[in-house]
Structure 1
């Protein structure tokens, strides 16, 4: 067992599936020779050759459209979009073909595709480089949408995504690519898509987050540790499908619910989760469900970026508000 970063865990998962199944191909802008902007695919082209790990033109629609054609013809494509904001040019192929193929063939055929890309802010990047697209992709029937928060989860979820018979959007939080290491088994293992993780059990309040925000919630909990609020922290891990059972069972136990997301507030995943809690655990609530989110603005450029993001102090204040309702 080795200590890996989140980036290293994804690289190991790709490496092992390339070795395990000759149908797997990895491609995208600078994905081959350079190993990607963040070096997530570093070393893979040298090991497996240009036929299986290769660079593409700067053409996201061609990348996602080619993935559809490859999957129809028996390959298992893993397509990289260089940055989150570059998904938009490839969105047509994702929605009109990739997500609909199972329905279009009346359930007879799926498209085993992984579309992976770095997501979110935190690296003081340019415009179109810091988007949180959970709503845009999680809203589409036929797509599974995943965002890991730890190296261990990243590897297990990536292997499950590659082996899934239908398309999976794999969002990689760029600001925690190298934010610490975790022991990760060297052998292949799988984490089920659609299953949340209870990071910490508690009895007073349920807090749900995913991706890099899980760490911010942990920091917030440390800020108010003297308040003796026993929080149950759930890492959603999968945006779609949502693990309703884990969330509802937790809220029925705690009676209080808070969701924290980096994405903008309006129409975000937090609203969906609050609706879910209201529909299925309303009579167990002792306080109104709440959310802490990014603001309804375009992500600011470098100097103002941190004002947009959810800070531990904001999370801590909302936890206290819900707890004392």
Structure 2
């Protein structure tokens, strides 16, 4: 085990796979010698050369189009979109080409060696063009996998699994944790299975579900609730597409309650899909309505970032309301 932050863990995962897979390339805006805006790719160009880690023009649609073409040849492409807010110019290429390539070719061709990495979320005073959480847009696209890690250990194992998965993966990285999250990470190569949630803490009174940077938020809220005698079961969803219905449903059948927390706006957020599925699976077990603690239905604000965030205080109050229903 080694102590590292999330950036170091991501960089190490990229380096491990580039060593093992000679066809793998890493590219995006400023990812070469500069190492990207957040330095996630630092040192890769020096180690593997300019042909395998290089800068692209500032065109997300072009990045995604090139990634599709490279991966369609059976090679491994890891494309960085500098901020998740910038992924929208590439949206057509990702949802209409990457996601459908295998299907429309009758499984004769695919872009399974394709991973899009992109930093998402707020907490860095980035305002409305550098703080969005657009994961839900991609979860309704068959053919894509969507993954969000919560800490360095998870980031390394999930990214290695994503790069080796036979399907295109959109890998959202919580940028406010890049340097803030430090922890023990296994040395060397390991994978964490995609599509599987993790029960981080056992409990009996309420299931609290989140992913990415919001995991720290819900853990803090649950600590406050525990002081009042409320036993919280905490689940990190990790993969949003596909998502682990069985693990979440089993937990809710035990606790009788569910709270879902995510940073994206409430309307159309992935919490709605989870709530609809769990009420269908667990209707007779529910002791209170499923609760959603999410971002506001506004553009991400700059000066009102604190008010926008679904923080531990909002989550704590929602836990109490659910248990006291």
Can you list the C-alpha shifts for 1:111-142, whole angstroms capped at 9, x where unaligned? 12000110011111143211101111111111
- Once residues 280 and 290 of structure 2 are traced to their aligned partners in structure 1, the CA distance between those partners, rounded to angstroms, is 12
- Once residues 109 and 155 of structure 2 are traced to their aligned partners in structure 1, the CA distance between those partners, rounded to angstroms, is 27
Kept in 1: contact 2:4–2:152 (CA 8 A): yes
- Once residues 128 and 313 of structure 2 are traced to their aligned partners in structure 1, the CA distance between those partners, rounded to angstroms, is 26
Q: Which residue does the alignment assign to 1:207?
A: 208
Is residue 122 from structure 1 mapped to residue 123 from structure 2 by the alignment? yes
Is residue 90 from structure 1 mapped to residue 86 from structure 2 by the alignment? no
- Once residues 127 and 305 of structure 2 are traced to their aligned partners in structure 1, the CA distance between those partners, rounded to angstroms, is 10
Kept in 2: contact 1:84–1:128 (CA 8 A): no
Give secondary structure in 2 for the equivalent of 1:207: strand
Give secondary structure in 1 for the equivalent of 2:189: coil
- Once residues 299 and 127 of structure 2 are traced to their aligned partners in structure 1, the CA distance between those partners, rounded to angstroms, is 12
Give secondary structure in 2 for the equivalent of 1:227: coil
Kept in 2: contact 1:37–1:82 (CA 8 A): yes
Give secondary structure in 2 for the equivalent of 1:217: helix
Deviates more, 1:124-133 or 1:96-105: 124-133
- Once residues 252 and 169 of structure 1 are traced to their aligned partners in structure 2, the CA distance between those partners, rounded to angstroms, is 31
What's the CA shift for 1:231?
A: 0.7
- Once residues 63 and 26 of structure 2 are traced to their aligned partners in structure 1, the CA distance between those partners, rounded to angstroms, is 11
Q: TM-score, normalised by structure 2?
A: 0.98
- Once residues 226 and 27 of structure 2 are traced to their aligned partners in structure 1, the CA distance between those partners, rounded to angstroms, is 46
- Once residues 127 and 318 of structure 2 are traced to their aligned partners in structure 1, the CA distance between those partners, rounded to angstroms, is 30
TM-align CA RMSD:
0.9
Kept in 1: contact 2:225–2:231 (CA 8 A): no
Is residue 245 from structure 1 mapped to residue 246 from structure 2 by the alignment? yes
Give secondary structure in 2 for the equivalent of 1:187: coil
Matches within 5 A, 1:100-249: 100-111=100-111, 112-249=113-250
Kept in 2: contact 1:203–1:254 (CA 8 A): yes
Structure 1 residue runs of 5 or longer lacking an equivalent are none
- Once residues 183 and 214 of structure 1 are traced to their aligned partners in structure 2, the CA distance between those partners, rounded to angstroms, is 17
Structure 2 residue runs of 5 or longer lacking an equivalent are none
- Once residues 226 and 36 of structure 1 are traced to their aligned partners in structure 2, the CA distance between those partners, rounded to angstroms, is 43
Large movers: runs of 4+ above 4 Å: none
Aligned residues: 324
Q: TM-score, normalised by structure 1?
A: 0.98
Is residue 18 from structure 1 mapped to residue 4 from structure 2 by the alignment? no
